[in-house]
Chains A and B, each alone.
Chain A
């Protein structure tokens, strides 16, 4: 049981490049979310999904795209990277109906945009 996995762990992009951050969970959780963590800002919600085929925007969605074709996977796409997207990105999952929002986090991806 791997829990929540994220790849890559580190990434450097040039401004304007695109890339996809991968997230997968093997706990059959319905809910999955993407957060970004910036110094002094805590974690902020980017996008979330309540199940396969259903996604919605969080607090800071601009510049990011998501899709959820399976229960297990929830990739985050940066369409045209900007230096403001330099951050640490966390994927999280949680089961529906239980334990009131306790989320299981992946190890994070540190992204630098130059």
Chain B
């Protein structure tokens, strides 16, 4: 069984500043993937970034980057140059890379508010 924990229910940041969202996970799998999904007020789930557990290099996507600490089972999301459009609920998720890639385990989410 997998568990994903997001310890920050809410966060806020000023526009143009940097913010880091925390996530820890636990899995018995050797091969797995980690994801951050964004859910804006429109309710649509949008993939922000993904990380393969076998890769040591941290994933980056434009202003979004992760700090993946495999031994500590930590997977934080850094948003640089925050924009008003980044205001959303952010979910951390873990999925297997083997036959179970149809199942994701989600954290409870962090509500991020970007203030002007």
A interface residue numbers (CB < 8 A to B)? 31-33, 35, 40-45, 48-50, 58, 88, 90, 92, 94, 96-97, 99-103, 105, 107-108, 110
Count CB-based A-B contacts (< 8 Å).
Answer: 74
Determine the chain B residues whose CB is within 8 A of the CB of A100 once the complex forms: 32-33, 50, 52, 95-97, 101
Determine the chain B residues whose CB is within 8 A of the CB of A102 once the complex forms: 33, 35, 47, 50, 95
Determine the chain A residues whose CB is within 8 A of the CB of B104 once the complex forms: 33, 43, 45, 101, 103
Whether A33 pairs with B101 at a CB distance below 8 angstroms is: no
Determine the chain B residues whose CB is within 8 A of the CB of A44 once the complex forms: 106
Nearest A-chain residue to B46, judged by Cβ: A105
Tell me what chain A mostly uses at the interface: helix, strand, loop, or mixed.
strand
B78 beta carbon closer than 8 Å to chain A: no
Which residue in A35, A58, A94 is a CB contact (below 8 Å) of B101?
A94
Determine the chain B residues whose CB is within 8 A of the CB of A32 once the complex forms: 102
Per the bound structure, the CA–CA distance linking A101 and B106 in Å amounts to 12
Per the bound structure, the CA–CA distance linking A105 and B33 in Å amounts to 17
A107-B95 CB under 8 A given contacts A32-B102, A100-B50: no
A105-B103 CB under 8 A given contacts A41-B108, A42-B108, A100-B52: no
Whether A50 pairs with B107 at a CB distance below 8 angstroms is: no
Per the bound structure, the CA–CA distance linking A75 and B107 in Å amounts to 25
Whether B91 pairs with A33 at a CB distance below 8 angstroms is: no
Per the bound structure, the CA–CA distance linking A94 and B102 in Å amounts to 6
Determine the chain B residues whose CB is within 8 A of the CB of A108 once the complex forms: 43-45
Determine the chain B residues whose CB is within 8 A of the CB of A96 once the complex forms: 101
Whether A105 pairs with B35 at a CB distance below 8 angstroms is: no
Determine the chain A residues whose CB is within 8 A of the CB of B50 once the complex forms: 99-100, 102
Per the bound structure, the CA–CA distance linking A88 and B95 in Å amounts to 21
Whether A107 pairs with B47 at a CB distance below 8 angstroms is: no
Nearest A-chain residue to B6, judged by Cβ: A42
Determine the chain B residues whose CB is within 8 A of the CB of A92 once the complex forms: 45
Give 18 CB contacts A-B under 8 Å. A35-B106, A41-B108, A42-B4, A42-B91, A42-B107, A42-B108, A45-B103, A58-B103, A88-B43, A90-B45, A94-B101, A94-B102, A97-B101, A99-B101, A102-B35, A103-B104, A105-B45, A107-B43
